[in-house]
A and B are shown apart, each in its own frame.
Chain A
Amino acid sequence: DAGVTQSPTHLIKTRGQQVTLRCSPKSGHDTVSWYQQALGQGPQFIFQYYEEEERQRGNFPDRFSGHQFPNYSSELNVNALLLGDSALYLCASQRGNQPQHFGDGTRLSIL
């Protein structure tokens, strides 16, 4: 039973570029959340998707957007990248109010 899978594992971009990160949830899970984790910090909630709709959002600018597909997989898009966007981006999936299960993340480096 595959867990949460994220791609790519590492990515290097330059300031001003745009990036798309992908997430496949654990089998049976219908809700996907995205988090940003800076080095030495806890994950910070970006937003959550359920039934292809964004239903909650954390304190992140509109440069951060997402999408959920009918198969429950999800994408995180970040536009106009800044140096401060360098972080580990984590995807978590769940079913209902069950605990979230995390993927191993995408390490994004901005030069």
Chain B
Amino acid sequence: EDQVTQSPEALRLQEGESSSLNCSYTVSGLRGLFWYRQDPGKGPEFLFTLYSAGEEKEKERLKATLTKKESFLHITAPKPEDSATYLCAVHLPGGYQKVTFGTGTKLQVIP
């Protein structure tokens, strides 16, 4: 069965303290991996798409990387406004874009 697992479930960082979030997957024939940010009471906001092992994408303090079995979301010198739940999702093989989400990592950045 296709699985997406995110760790840790929750992470508390001091402002400026860099860290990484993990997303591991057991999907054969991955067609894409997505990272989303979700604020309380809001829908997920698209951050990145990664398609192949070795690929990296950056946006402000965030950098996403992909290997054959996992993806990392690196957060460099986070600020309180980076506090949110970060969701990883994989595009399953098949004809259409069926997406499976992980349960997310809740990040809290303390000033």
Contact = CB atoms under 8 A, between A and B. Distances in A.
Interface of A: 4, 31, 33, 35, 40-45, 48, 50, 55-56, 58, 90, 92, 94, 97, 99-105, 107
B101 A42 contact: yes
29 contacts: A4-B43, A33-B97, A35-B101, A40-B103, A41-B104, A42-B101, A42-B104, A43-B87, A43-B101, A44-B101, A45-B99, A45-B100, A56-B98, A58-B98, A94-B97, A97-B97, A99-B49, A100-B34, A100-B46, A100-B99, A102-B36, A102-B43, A102-B46, A103-B43, A104-B41, A104-B43, A105-B42, A105-B43, A107-B41
Interface of B: 4, 32, 34, 36, 41-46, 49, 87, 89, 96-104
Given A99-B34, A99-B49, A43 B44 contact: yes
